Amino acid sequence: MTNRKVVSDDGHGRQEVSVTQVGRWRFGPFKGTFTVNLAVTQDRKHGTVDFKLVPAHGGFMKNFTGSWTVAPYNEDSLDELVRYPGRHWGPIHGFKKAIHHLEEAVGVKHPEGSLVQLRQCVAPSILPPPPFDKMLRKITTAQVRLVMEDLLAEAERRNAERRQKGGSGDPQALESHVRKLQ
């Protein structure tokens, strides 16, 4: 991250932040960098982070918006995750079923933990023609995978640190972890 500026803070866990970040991408022999300016709204009380691309003239991205939601791991949060308007099942209905099978296999019902959900919309300024459209999908998929791997690694690092200290720690004290994309 190259720049992070708190634009507003209500003193109750809600902040608006301006973030400038340089990302790196690589696909086979091709590689490059790009700068992203984001408007971020963090709400610790509700466990959400919303982000939106600040439009730049001539930028690579037309749209880059999304949200992170952190919820306690329980039946209600699983139901919310698989809810699909107008239907009794959604595209990830099988996910909930798989979680229940896993819980039965390990003999633990709703272990202590959190569900983290990322929703995002990515649209380039210019839609590349085939086969470059597939290359762009692979690049964006790889970036999301790296973010998720970073999230898991950071969660494990912090859990190990908490276990060494012999306590559960203060979840409000946890701040976001950002890794340079390679």
Please enumerate in sequence order all residues whose Cβ is within 8 A of that of 88, keeping only pairs 6 or more positions apart, or say none. none
Record: fold of 3-69+117-168: Alpha-D-Glucose-1,6-Bisphosphate; Chain A, domain 4 (3.30.530)
Lowest mean pLDDT among 6-10, 59-63, 87-91, 170-174: 170-174
Neighbours of 53 (CB within 10 A): 19
Please enumerate in sequence order all residues whose Cβ is within 8 A of that of 179, keeping only pairs 6 or more positions apart, or say none. 146, 150
Residue given tokens 């803070």 in the structure block: 9
pLDDT at 86 over 90: no
Mean pLDDT of 5-20: 94
Lookup: tokens for 62: 């037309």
Quote the crossing angle between the two packed helices 75-82 and 93-106, to the nearest 10°.
150
Domain regions of the chain by residue span: 3-69+117-168, 74-111
Of 134, 142, 137, 135, which is closest to residue 123 (Cα–Cα)?
137
Query: What was the pLDDT predicted at 181?
Result: 31
Which is more confidently placed, 118 or 6?
6
